[in-house]
Amino acid sequence: MTQLYATYPSLRDRHVLISGGASGIGASMVRAFAAQASRVSFLDIDRQGGEALVRELSGVSAHTPSFLPCDVTDITALRSAIETAARTAPVAVLVNNAANDSRHRVEDTTVALWDATMAVNLRHYFFAAQAVIPGMRALRGGSIINFGSISWMNKQPGLPAYTAAKAAVQGLTRTLAREVGRDGIRVNTVVPGWVMTERQLALWVDAEGERQMDISQCLPGRLQPADLARMVLFLAADDSRMCTAQDFIVDAGWT
């Protein structure tokens, strides 16, 4: 069956800020919003990957994306990058995507590893939202989209600090939605299943992983970064105007 995907007129010229946009799901979202003629700014610690993505999209879309190199665990640098991005236009959509799911055993988890995991998977989500909310209030609306994970729902072993952070993301989404809802700002969580990014394929997808997906997913096939990007487009667009404080799971029916 031929698959046809939506175009959202409300996303044209809308300023979208994406963290972790240089690769994987983040890069797919940069491409998807650029194709909708949005103004895209994206942050990433990977300077080479970010610059390559800008070159790829330069002249292809209505607005060439803007790349701001940034370590999101450095909150001062994060605030500065967001302030720079907002000079071009107020940020109407924030996608908190940057994360790191490196494996770690309970017995090997140190205080330093725990704190670093929270910094890259949870802390910057709050401070990025804090930085864009005043501008969204001035716009009288906006959309904040946080990335969660099915890992904690499925009791996945081997990454306890990561799963704790991702469970907390959904709590953060709900309380922020209540805090800013009267300002017309929507806050939701997108919860991916096992997405076939370059990182996952290189590090963790093996024959046993393939078997697990075949058994656990209701739908056949493999989740691709673009499948998550299309859900994010919907949550960023006016079509989802009454959706907030919700978890939108995209996992082929695994959970």
Give the model's pLDDT for residue 2: 87
Q: Give the span between the Cα atoms of 54 and 142, in whole angstroms.
A: 25
Give the model's pLDDT for residue 161: 96
The number of distinct structural domains making up the chain is: 1
Query: What average pLDDT does the segment 147-160 reach?
Result: 94
Q: How many CB atoms lie within 10 A of CB 35?
A: 17
2 in a structural domain? no
49 in a structural domain? yes
From the candidates 5, 8, 125, 162, give the one annotated as an active-site residue. Answer: 162
117 in a structural domain? yes
4 in a structural domain? no
Is 78 in contact with 70 (CB distance < 8 Å)?
yes
3 in a structural domain? no
Give the model's pLDDT for residue 1: 82
- What's 169's domain CATH number? 3.40.50.720
Active site residue 5: no
Query: What average pLDDT does the segment 38-46 reach?
Result: 98
Within 8 A by CB and 6+ apart from 145, the residues are 93, 94, 95, 96, 187, 188, 189, 190, 232, 235, 236
5 in a structural domain? no
| pLDDT tens digits for range 116-131 | 999 999 999 999 999 9
Total residue count of the chain as it appears in this document:
255
pLDDT cut 90: percent of the chain above it? 94
1 in a structural domain? no
Category of 192 on φ-ψ map: left (φ > 0), alpha (ψ -120 to 50) or beta: beta
Q: Which domain holds residue 217?
A: 10-250
Position 204 confidence tier, pLDDT thresholds 50, 70, 90? confident
185 in a structural domain? yes
Phi, psi of 107 (to 5 degrees): -70, -15
For residue 82, give the nearest of 47, 134, 34 by alpha carbon: 134
pLDDT over threshold 90, residue 200: no
pLDDT over threshold 90, residue 8: yes
